[in-house]
Amino acid sequence: MTEKMFMQALGMGIAEEMRADPKVFLMGEDVRASVYGAAAGLHDEFGDDRILNTPLSENGFFGAAVGAAAVGMRPVVETLTSFMWVGMDQLVSQAAKMRYMFGGQATLPVVYRAVMYYGGGSAAHHSDRSYPVFMNIGGLKVVTPGTPADAKGLMKTAIRDDDPVIIFEDGTLLGTRGDVPDEPDFFVPFGVANILREGTDVTLVAIAGSVPHALAAAKELASEGVSVEVIDPRTLVPLDKETILSSVAKTGRLVVADPAAKVCSAASEIMSIVGEEAFWDLQAPMQKAASKQVHIPFAQSLEKLVYPSKEGIAESIRKTLD
Amino acid sequence: MTLNIEKDVLMLMLERMWRIRHFELKLTEMYGAGEIGGVHLYIGQEAVAVGACAAMDDSDYIAGNHRSHGHPIAKGANLKKAMAEIFGRIDGYCKGKGGSMHLADFSVGILGESGIVASSVPVATGAALASKLEGKKFVSAVFFGDGASNQGACHESMNLASVWNLPTIFICENNQYAVTTSYRDTVAVEHISDRAQAYNMPGVLVDGQDAIAMYEATREAVRRARNGEGPTLIEALTYRFEEHSLGLEKIRKSVYREDKEIDEWRLRDPLEILTKNIVDTGMATQAECDAVSTAVQVEVEEAAEFARNSPFPDESELYKDMFSSEMPVV
């Protein structure tokens, strides 16, 4: 174990997989200079043939990654969540649908790394938290690491996975630190939630950048005598609903913290599952601590009101105890 | 008349063009009988796919579009599985999950046929990227229409293929109409092939009714691609003899094209042109050419019978193929 930043852990995961398999290559805008950080050092180690700077043509290179994957390569594509809209046709019509539409003939081991910047005064065109959209499409695995260790372990699993994976790299977490296993055989499986803190009174599911706020809120509630269980699902497709349902069976209360806008969010889906499958376990109405349903305003005075904060999450927890 | 092309290539092209023509005529008949729904026919354009594919190897890849019955057949696909797919049956290429617009046989190097026009252009470009990155020799060709040539995906891919010097062959089948809209109203240059200049690659305008011309143009593009000389844009000027799709005959009422124009193009039937060229060289007689057509007709009838008798996919297929391995049903 070594303490690493989340961003470094992502890079470690990519580098280890590139060393392990010559079919893995990275492409995206400005990846050689690693403008977004996680690809630091990769160009020095792997050179021009495996670290490809692309033109600003998301539809073109998202699709080129699909084609390269279809003939046996394992491309890793770096982009920003907000630029994914530009290449949506290739993500939806090709990456997501090819396997099913062609009756299983296409195998597409492609990873899209969606750097998810928000919260830093970047306004509406650079602040998307779009993973719920991709949960809805189907055919894509949707990964949202919340800790540095998971950033590495999920990245490695994503690159070895034979299906298209989108890994959302939460910008608010990139500078966070934590212990990361050094071993190159460290993998975090998809579809297995992580119980970050055990508790008995309230289940708090926290997604991506909500994780640190959820842990802080749980700590605050503990000082008030409330025991909060914090669960990070880590992957939204596939979703480990059993861990969430068995926690709710124990606590009878559910709060979901989700940086995505609240309508049709990941929180919506999780609450819907609990409503359908565990209604009688609930002792209080479920609470959604998601982002407000607005575009991201530039002014800090407004932007800070949008996302789920420690205070907002704590407030939601208290509501389940009223 | 002498040709720089061997007899077996000519006869293979003739056979594959007849396979496509009879396949499409059979579908028309079955549509009339209510056996299948509306599909996009390739009649009139057979020389484009067949001429191009004849210049490629089995290890090369192609991708197509919504009007793509011809492309897999040109690349060597099995007619029975193609017909079964159009019937939505379990023995189809895609187990009935793709249908007419996604008639892809990956075993003969098809990367998919896309219902969203131009959407397979980046995909084919990516296969060419893999070829280059791995130091392989295979090339990747993509067929798209005049309508698709106005999509950003085409332009992004041509630029990408050129800056990365990829072995991609962009084949624009200009059948002159995007449903009812003439390319003359939507394309700013005189010829779509002129656009190649903007991407610093050769742009070649070819008579798309002439299989030999298509073969020769593609052979040169393949040579360049394999030799590391980069991509080529081929515009095949052709014509859609039928309406946009079976069932859309009513759009003729809008008179978006004159009967006279259709009649004139029908005189340039790609099968007649190739047959005449073969007979003129003395490589085969008219009777030998006719025998190819007759033999293929039998094959098409067998394919139709196979498709009719294949079962529909059952419920156990519904969730299969969403992912490569078992996933929880949500």
Contact A67 B323 (CB under 8 A): no
Of A67, A93, A138, the CB nearest to B125: A67
pLDDT given for residue B241 in this prediction:
92
Chain A contact for B148 (CB, 8 A cutoff): no
Residue range B166-192: mean pLDDT, rounded: 96
The answer to whether B72 and B103 have CB atoms below 8 angstroms apart is yes
- Rounded distance between C-alpha atoms, residue B174 and residue B180, angstroms: 13
- B77-86, B192-201, B242-251, B263-272: least confidently modelled range: B242-251
Q: How distant is the Cα of B278 from the closest Cα of chain A, in angstroms?
A: 37
The answer to whether A200 and A246 have CB atoms below 8 angstroms apart is no
Contact A102 B122 (CB under 8 A): no
Which domains are assigned to chain B? 7-308 (3.40.50.970)
Of B106, B130, B327, the CB nearest to A238: B327
Residue range A54-82: mean pLDDT, rounded: 98
Answer yes or no: is pLDDT of B1 > 70.
no
Q: pLDDT, tens digit, for every residue of A253-266?
A: 999 999 999 999 99
pLDDT given for residue A37 in this prediction:
82
CATH 3.40.50.920-classified regions of chain A: 194-321
For B94, the enclosing helix (H) or strand (E) is none
Cis peptide before B122 (omega within 30 of 0): no
Q: How distant is the Cα of A107 from the closest Cα of chain B, in angstroms?
A: 7
Contact B153 A70 (CB under 8 A): no
The length of chain A is 322
Contact B328 A239 (CB under 8 A): yes
Chain B contact for A85 (CB, 8 A cutoff): no
Two tokens at B85?
């797919």
Chain B contact for A61 (CB, 8 A cutoff): yes
Partner residues linked to A51 by β-bridges: A26
pLDDT band at residue A186 using 50, 70 and 90 as cut-offs: very high
**Fold topology of A2-180:** Rossmann fold (3.40.50)
pLDDT given for residue B11 in this prediction:
96
pLDDT given for residue B279 in this prediction:
96
Two tokens at B281?
């060289």
Nearest Cα residue to B233 out of B185, B166, B320, B137:
B166
- Rounded distance between C-alpha atoms, residue A184 and residue B253, angstroms: 67
Give percent helix, percent strand, percent coil of chain A, each to the nearest 5.
40, 20, 40
Contact A238 B159 (CB under 8 A): no
Residue range B263-268: mean pLDDT, rounded: 96
Chain A contact for B112 (CB, 8 A cutoff): yes
Q: Residue B71: its chain A contacts at CB < 8 A?
A: none
Nearest CA in chain A to B123: A67
Contact A105 B93 (CB under 8 A): yes
Nearest CA in chain B to A48: B133
Q: What is the DSSP string of B247-295?
A: T-GGGGGG-SS-HHHHHHHHTT-HHHHHHHHHHHHTSS-HHHHHHHHHH
First vs last Cα of chain A: how many Å apart? 42
Chain B contact for A225 (CB, 8 A cutoff): no
- Rounded distance between C-alpha atoms, residue B133 and residue A27, angstroms: 12
Count the Cβ atoms, other than its own, within 10 Å of residue A54.
23
Two tokens at B264?
């004139």
Nearest Cα residue to A150 out of A231, A83, A227, A219:
A231
Contact A59 B114 (CB under 8 A): no
Of B119, B123, B320, the CB nearest to A70: B123
Chain A contact for B137 (CB, 8 A cutoff): no
Q: pLDDT, tens digit, for every residue of A71-84?
A: 999 999 999 999 99
Contact B126 A59 (CB under 8 A): no
The A residues from 257 to 316 touching B (CB cutoff 8 Å) are: none
Q: How distant is the Cα of B109 from the closest Cα of chain A, in angstroms?
A: 9
Q: Residue B93: its chain A contacts at CB < 8 A?
A: 102-103, 105
Chain B contact for A24 (CB, 8 A cutoff): no
Q: pLDDT, tens digit, for every residue of B233-262?
A: 999 999 999 989 998 887 777 789 999 999
Two tokens at A291?
């982002």
Active-site residues of A: which are they? 126
Q: pLDDT, tens digit, for every residue of B278-306?
A: 999 999 999 999 999 999 999 999 999 99
Answer yes or no: is pLDDT of A267 > 80.
yes
Count the Cβ atoms, other than its own, within 10 Å of residue A225.
7
Which CATH number does A194-321 carry?
3.40.50.920
Residue A296: strand, helix, or coil = coil
Chain A contact for B88 (CB, 8 A cutoff): no
CA B103, B107, B110: angle at the middle one, nearest 5? 50
Size of interface A-B (CB pairs under 8 A): 154
Single-letter code of the amino acid located at A78: E
pLDDT given for residue B247 in this prediction:
85
What's the Cα-to-Cα distance from B310 to each of B101, B314, B319, rounded to whole Å?
A: 19, 12, 20
pLDDT given for residue B86 in this prediction:
97
Strands B61-64 and A194-197, by their bridges, are unpaired
Chain A contact for B239 (CB, 8 A cutoff): no
Residue A115: strand, helix, or coil = strand
Q: Give every CB contact of residue B198 below 8 A, 6+ residues apart in sequence.
A: none
Q: How distant is the Cα of A99 from the closest Cα of chain B, in angstroms?
A: 6
Answer yes or no: is pLDDT of B173 > 90.
yes
The answer to whether A173 and A209 have CB atoms below 8 angstroms apart is yes
- A34-43, A237-246, A293-302, B244-253: least confidently modelled range: B244-253
Q: pLDDT, tens digit, for every residue of A165-174?
A: 999 999 999 9
Contact A163 B323 (CB under 8 A): yes
Q: What mean pLDDT value characterizes chain B? A: 95
Contact A73 B134 (CB under 8 A): yes
Residue A180: strand, helix, or coil = strand
CATH 3.40.50.970-classified regions of chain A: 2-180
Percent of chain A with pLDDT over 90: 98
Residue range B90-118: mean pLDDT, rounded: 95
pLDDT given for residue B252 in this prediction:
74
Higher pLDDT, A207 or B1: A207
pLDDT given for residue B3 in this prediction:
75
